[in-house]
Amino acid sequence: MNIAVMGYGVVGSGVAEVLKKNHASIVKKSMQESLELTRILDLRDFPGDENEALLTKDFKDILNDETIGIVVETMGGVHPAYEFVLDCLKAGKSVVTSNKELVAAKGNELLRVAEEKNVNFMFEASVGGGIPIIRPIISCLAANEIDEIAGILNGTTNFILTKMINDGMTFEDALKIAQELGYAERDPSADVEGKDACRKICILASLCFGKHVYPDSVYTEGITKIALADVEYAKAWGGVIKLIGRATRYGDGKISIMVSPAFIQNHSQLAGVDDVFNAILVRGDALGDVVFYGRGAGKLPTASAVVADVIDCARHTERRKFFGWEDSVEDYVVDYLDIKHPFFVRAKADKQAVAEHFGEVQYLEYEGAAADEMGFITAALTQREFDAKVAAAGLEVGSVIRVTDY
Ligand code: HSE
């Protein structure tokens, strides 16, 4: 059986590298007589590249090649990846993707087409880079009802926050290093504004809760407004700031889902997750909490997950692996204004106004804090209640960060 790769960037070239490096054992595990990379689609030229002879700029060279049974999509973005993937599935080819934007936007539809055509559509690498998470949710945790899933889902922002927390490095310097190391998206605003984490929590929530969650229905906040003062207040509280994607299923079948920076207590399993590492906490009714941890971005870790899916596809050419989810329904996602949690507030305020409107709060202090600012933690409030109290108390807010109990 032959394989094609669409998109010869960081991940695509990593896939080619892993397929070559571990060729013999991959073929053996695939239970195929052969498993060869025979085509690579990319609009760019790669003169002198060891795979130059495989390169094509014409998608039809892959689509019309009947010897190609598995297509790897590592182009990124929704278009034209969606059209190419759809055509491949309709042509009876299995598709493996690392493209979270595509799965978050079109996952239910592509899984349905794969089912109709009795081929596989797999996307282990789309969440958590090299961390096994999709397959464990489908297989190992199948006995559980999952009511909550939360995690550090973006390596670039976790790398930046770690550098800010541990080394006092500026946001810009840390981002530059993350880009050089190949962690960041082509447009790094997708990382730092939380969109990449949003796509990943959408995929996880769709998989765990059975209905597609579209990224535009998810309240998403990035890390661009985090100041070193917030990092210090978090330390004084006994924790750290992490960018967290989280989704919870309520008893009535609705879900709450959000991406935002959050205060995480030092004893949490998520607090010690540093640098490019990701961690995903899944709360199952039989198992309790389980945390999946590993390299969430980078060329070879991500390629590792892609190639594992390729092997799985090769082993399931006769019977596809059945999983999928329904489309969304109206009002499935709860308005973020109605989600309740404590808030950390850094503001210019007077304590009397805070006491009058917020009642009892936990004040935080650290040496070197600005004299005209205060930091405090509120009781659990909905965003709606919180916003009303901020307005009534006349706070001049510097930062607002949600506080979690993970
Ligand atoms: N830009 C992503 C990250 C790559 O930093 O996590 C992996 O999805």
Give the atom of ligand 1 at the shortest distance from the alpha carbon of 127: 8
Pocket test for ligand 1, best of 154, 295, 299 (most atoms within 8 A of CB): 154
pLDDT, residue 314, reads 96
What is the chain's alpha carbon radius of gyration, rounded to the nearest angstrom?
23
Q: How far is the CA of 376 from the centre of ligand 1 (A)?
A: 32
Q: How far is the CA of 181 from the centre of ligand 1 (A)?
A: 11
Pocket test for ligand 1, best of 99, 160, 196, 244 (most atoms within 8 A of CB): 196
Whether 217 and 287 map to the same domain: the answer is yes
Catalogue the long-range contacts made by 14-20 (C-beta closer than 8 Å, 24 or more residues apart).
Answer: 14/299, 14/300, 14/302, 14/303, 14/306, 15/72, 15/74, 15/303, 15/306, 15/307, 15/310, 16/40, 16/51, 17/299, 17/300, 17/303, 18/300, 18/303, 18/304, 18/306, 18/307, 19/307, 19/310
The residue count of the chain comes to 406
pLDDT, residue 170, reads 85
Whether 27 and 64 map to the same domain: the answer is yes
pLDDT tens digits, one per residue of 49-84: 999 999 999 999 999 999 999 999 999 999 999 999
Q: How far is the CA of 156 from the centre of ligand 1 (A)?
A: 6
Nearest CA to ligand 1 atom 4: 297
Query: What range defines the domain where residue 259 resides?
Result: 135-295
- The domain spanning residue 88 has which CATH number? 3.40.50.720
Q: Which residues pair with 211 in a beta bridge?
A: 326
pLDDT, residue 317, reads 86
Residues 36, 405: Cα–Cα separation, whole Å:
48
Residue 323, in any domain of the structure: no
User: For residue 186, is pLDDT > 90?
Assistant: no
pLDDT, residue 185, reads 87
Residue 119, in any domain of the structure: yes
Whether 102 and 219 map to the same domain: the answer is no
Residue 391, in any domain of the structure: yes
- The domain spanning residue 388 has which CATH number? 3.30.70.1150
Residue 321, in any domain of the structure: no
Residues that are catalytic: 200
Whether 235 and 143 map to the same domain: the answer is yes
Q: How far is the CA of 243 from the centre of ligand 1 (A)?
A: 13
pLDDT, residue 25, reads 98
Residue 45, in any domain of the structure: yes
Residue 14, in any domain of the structure: yes
Q: Which residues contact 108 (CB under 8 A, 6 or more apart)?
A: 206, 212, 324, 325, 326, 327
Residues 139, 322: Cα–Cα separation, whole Å:
11
Whether 143 and 246 map to the same domain: the answer is yes
Number of domains composing the chain = 3
Mean pLDDT for the chain overall: 95
Total-model pTM: 0.97
pLDDT, residue 244, reads 98
Q: Which residues contact 15 (CB under 8 A, 6 or more apart)?
A: 5, 72, 74, 303, 306, 307, 310
pLDDT tens digits, one per residue of 327-372: 999 999 999 999 999 999 999 999 999 999 999 999 999 999 999 9
Q: Which residues contact 81 (CB under 8 A, 6 or more apart)?
A: 6, 7, 73, 75, 97, 99, 102
Backbone φ, ψ for residue 172 (5° rounding) = -65, -45
CA distances from 113 to 89, 108, 213, 251 (A): 7, 9, 18, 31
Single out the residue in 265, 295, 325 at which a domain terminates: 295
Q: Which residues contact 324 (CB under 8 A, 6 or more apart)?
A: 108, 111, 112, 115
Name all residues whose Cβ lies below 6 A of ligand 1.
Answer: 129, 154-156, 183-185, 191, 196, 296-297
Q: Residue 392 is which amino acid?
A: A
Percent of the chain whose pLDDT exceeds 70: 100
Whether 112 and 182 map to the same domain: the answer is no
Whether 281 and 163 map to the same domain: the answer is yes
